Structure 1
Amino acid sequence: MDPNEAVDRYPHVEPYDGYGPYSGADLERYVPEPDKRPGRTAFQRDRARVLHSAALRRLAGKTQVVDPGGPGNAVTDTSPRTRLTHSLECAQVGRELGAALGCDPDLVETACLAHDLGHPPFGHNGELVLAEFAADCGGFEGNAQSLRLLTRIEPKRFASPEVSVGLNLTRAALDAATKYPWPRGGHPDDPDSPKFGVYQDDLPVFRWLRAGAPLGRRCFEAQVMDWSDDVAYSVHDVEDGLQAGHIDPRVLLSGPERAEVFACAAARYAPEGAGPDELGEALDRLLAQPWWPRRYDGSALDQACLKDAASQLIGRFCLAAEGATRERYGSARLTRYAAELVVPREQRMECAVLKAVADCYVMQRDAQARRRAEQRVVVGELAQTLLERAPEGLDPQFRAVFEAARDEAGRRRAIVDQIASLTDAAATALHARLAPA
């Protein structure tokens, strides 16, 4: 079956056992297995499997935006987000928004917990290096790596002693965790897009999980996950930047500073057609709110005010999406392919401005730019050294895959899988042990 073919193979079944509008096909697993505990739903089992996975725990060692040990932090004990805490916060946002719209909350939470599992050490910085290294073996994309991890790398279930099926989640859970439901070069509107959700050698399970899905369309739960991700990281990255002393709220009143933020937002984050006037209106709407932080010095009062501002922003973004979606679809339960999440353009613009603020004042600061360059060297040299010296340096799981590979592409992919699984500290340590001085 073509991975993008819209096929109505599974007729909808009557609601049962609390699943509501989810069908028997939604609950299927790639390798059938019996329920071990009566009374627990399939989606509750999915959530537990991701929550207890080693891959989720490793996200604690992967930087989100502010490096806890990084240089230049004005406040040293701010406990900034890691990929793990971001994923947990995204899951909380998604669970409540999804439940308000009729989704199974455990299903949406599972997708949110899983959405960053494939991100390599040093985040998008490491992703760029691995994409270059893997260009001849299918590329690298954090979302495609997440699917590979869920369906192959994280050991939980095996189809045979030689074939892992990863966590063996339900079809609905895998689909909900798929942000970009197409292979490399398969974007329905932009074949040159760097974003994709599946590697070529993972297409069999992708075809299975997408059975019956419209061409290139994300399911409703995946849309809720995606917006929850945007909400969580746009709000919390600014919060972390303020706490670390990288963002001064007063600079957002300066014309030149605002122009820089708007240019970044228009280039990277804002909806199509956004210009400085519309982005300025979005920022001014936020600045006019009584809860918007106008200063931050680390005092208990300022900490409380900042936390309240974060809560207010999350509520603002989620309630806007919930209200606009309900206005279009009414009060019915909205699941799978029965609806599209509606997010008002005003809130998308506000979210884009927040992302740009974090980008300009946290990610683009000089100390961070130097650190990113060093990180790229670590990942690039580590990949090349492993290629030259493997199976030395590979964990037993990836060593076996490397030795069983039938060609250079398979061996290179095993090295990519190994590096992507590492935390920031583990990648740095392995590089120090293996790479030439």
Structure 2
Amino acid sequence: MEGTAPKAYENHAAYENHAAYENHAAYGGYDDSAVERWAVEPDKRPGRTAFQRDRARVLHSAALRRLAGKTQVVTPGTRSQVWDASPRTRLTHSLECAQVGRELGAALGCDPDLVEAACLSHDLGHPPFGHNGEQALNEFAEDCGGFEGNAQSLRLLARIEPKRFVPDNDTGELVSVGLNLTRAVLDAATKYPWPRGAHPTDATSSKFGVYEDDRPVFDWVRKGAPGTRTCFEAQVMDWSDDVAYSVHDVEDGLHAGHIDPNCLQAEPERQEIFAVAIGRYVPADTDPAELAEALDRLLDQEWWPHGYDGTAVAQARLKDATSQLIGRFCLAAEGATRETYGSGRLTRYGAELVVPKGARYECAVLKAVADRYVMQRAEQERLRANQRIVVAELAEALTARAPDGLDPQFRALFDQATEDRARKRVIVDQIASLTDASARSLHLRLTTRSHGGRGV
């Protein structure tokens, strides 16, 4: 499996009979190429569309279930003194993102199952401890291609998640093609369609969407795509992701007592919020006055949850504000995109999602509020420091003792690997698949035992 793809399926010679296998003829805006799969396969339930199958595969995947134990903002299983409800996890965020994306995509003419599948998939590759774990894994994987959650998502969808195996053309051995999703869904789940170090506009960016090992399937997914441009459905997914986490992180922060609504009207506090936003959530040359106007527009809404105090009435108002914000941001994008492209179906590379600057700034301010008052709390930084140690020590322990400590799936891949670089990537895959709790548990077991093993 290392660095190769099932070559027997690269030319897709049997694809001329694909229509007999899946119901896709009625798709408006999607051609045969969009619904093609890496490995052609029959449908066990004729009558479903290819995108309905894809959505079901992601929804039933173990990778999606594991997101329930992965950090979104507040670490799963922890409680603050005022926290009286379960915080959002990567799973609940993905479900909320999918609901937003499905409706926005449908309003613009996208296939709703396609967009929902992409939204459900977009965070599957994120490791334990959120972006903090991502940073630690990237440092460990520096000499084998780095680590990036979005590249890991593609790897998981196309290779790691056990669903479909096919014989390799050279060896005849069965190799995994992951969930074997359609080209259009894999493309829609790809936020950063370029390899490491190839960001089209920012040479310093650490964002990328594919490891070198996975270039064959990536190149197949991007066949016919115009350069590094993301498809329309991926843009809908990306905006839905921004909308969901910006709104819900503020909701969680208010509910947990970490955000004082009055601070949003105090000038020193506002300047700190704008400083967080500039360079991280908006361009570095953004005028703080534009962010102030964006925040004031939100504060001026009659539904804004001023004076939130945690009572039942206040919680209901907060929920209404959440709904209002999501509707506001989605309608802004829908209206501007329709104004530009008209009323037809917008799919694949036939359009760009247009999000007005005002809506982007309002969304960015909300991100900055959550960043400033939730993520930058001193206790959170102490927790993140500990999490980085856990990931680093776990990676070191697995390196020294593998295949001991690896799940059977990754143990087999480790044993098949023929070079240190490939074995190290298997260790990265293993760690990335863990939940927060299982990472801590495995770390504890491996760092308190002394076993021999074949190192990398």
Amino acid at match of 1:127: E
Among 59, 71, 77, which residue is 1:51 paired with?
59
User: Contact conserved, 2:232 with 2:350, CA < 8 A, in 1?
Assistant: yes
User: Contact conserved, 2:69 with 2:76, CA < 8 A, in 1?
Assistant: no
User: Contact conserved, 1:74 with 1:245, CA < 8 A, in 2?
Assistant: no
Match in the other structure for 2:101: 94
Q: 2 CA distance for matches of 1:392 and 1:36?
A: 38
Amino acid at match of 2:37: R
**Where has structure 1 moved over 4 Å in runs of 4 or more?**
none
Among 415, 421, 426, which residue is 1:414 paired with?
426
User: Contact conserved, 1:157 with 1:168, CA < 8 A, in 2?
Assistant: yes
1:426 aligns with 2:444: no
Q: 2 CA distance for matches of 1:262 and 1:385?
A: 42
TM norm structure 1: 0.95
User: Contact conserved, 1:292 with 1:309, CA < 8 A, in 2?
Assistant: yes
**Deviation at 1:35?**
1.9
**Deviation at 1:393?**
0.3
The alignment partner of 2:118 has SS state of helix
Match in the other structure for 1:145: 152
**C-alpha RMSD of the superposition:** 1.5
Among 149, 167, 176, which residue is 1:164 paired with?
176
Amino acid at match of 2:54: D
The alignment partner of 1:268 has SS state of coil
**Deviation at 1:68?**
4.3
Which range moved further: 225-234 or 396-405?
396-405
Q: 2 CA distance for matches of 1:151 and 1:205?
A: 7
Q: 2 CA distance for matches of 1:436 and 1:124?
A: 27
When residues 49 and 16 of structure 1 are mapped into structure 2, their CA distance, relative to the original with a 3 A threshold, is closer
Amino acid at match of 1:260: E
- The aligned length equals 424
Deviation by residue 1:129-154 (Cα, 9 ceiling, x = unmatched): 00000000010000000000000000
Among 177, 186, 211, which residue is 2:198 paired with?
186
Identity across matched positions, percent = 74
Among 391, 403, 423, which residue is 1:379 paired with?
391
Q: 1 CA distance for matches of 2:314 and 2:163?
A: 45
TM norm structure 2: 0.91
Match in the other structure for 1:5: none
**Deviation at 1:436?**
4.4
Match in the other structure for 1:29: 37
Q: 1 CA distance for matches of 2:294 and 2:182?
A: 40
The alignment partner of 2:278 has SS state of helix
User: Contact conserved, 2:259 with 2:373, CA < 8 A, in 1?
Assistant: yes
Matches within 5 A, 1:190-209: 190-209=202-221
User: Contact conserved, 1:61 with 1:423, CA < 8 A, in 2?
Assistant: yes
Q: 1 CA distance for matches of 2:310 and 2:370?
A: 18
When residues 206 and 278 of structure 1 are mapped into structure 2, their CA distance, relative to the original with a 3 A threshold, is same
Match in the other structure for 2:348: 336
Amino acid at match of 2:235: Q
**Deviation at 1:304?**
0.4
Matches within 5 A, 1:254-403: 254-271=266-283, 273-403=285-415
Q: 1 CA distance for matches of 2:235 and 2:215?
A: 22
User: Contact conserved, 1:130 with 1:416, CA < 8 A, in 2?
Assistant: yes
Match in the other structure for 1:115: 122
1:65 aligns with 2:73: yes
Structure 1 residue runs of 5 or longer lacking an equivalent are 1-9
User: Contact conserved, 1:118 with 1:421, CA < 8 A, in 2?
Assistant: yes
Amino acid at match of 1:123: G
Among 125, 147, 167, which residue is 2:132 paired with?
125
**Deviation at 1:16?**
6.1
The alignment partner of 2:263 has SS state of helix
Deviation by residue 1:167-187 (Cα, 9 ceiling, x = unmatched): 000000000000000000121
User: Contact conserved, 2:24 with 2:35, CA < 8 A, in 1?
Assistant: no
Q: 2 CA distance for matches of 1:48 and 1:191?
A: 37
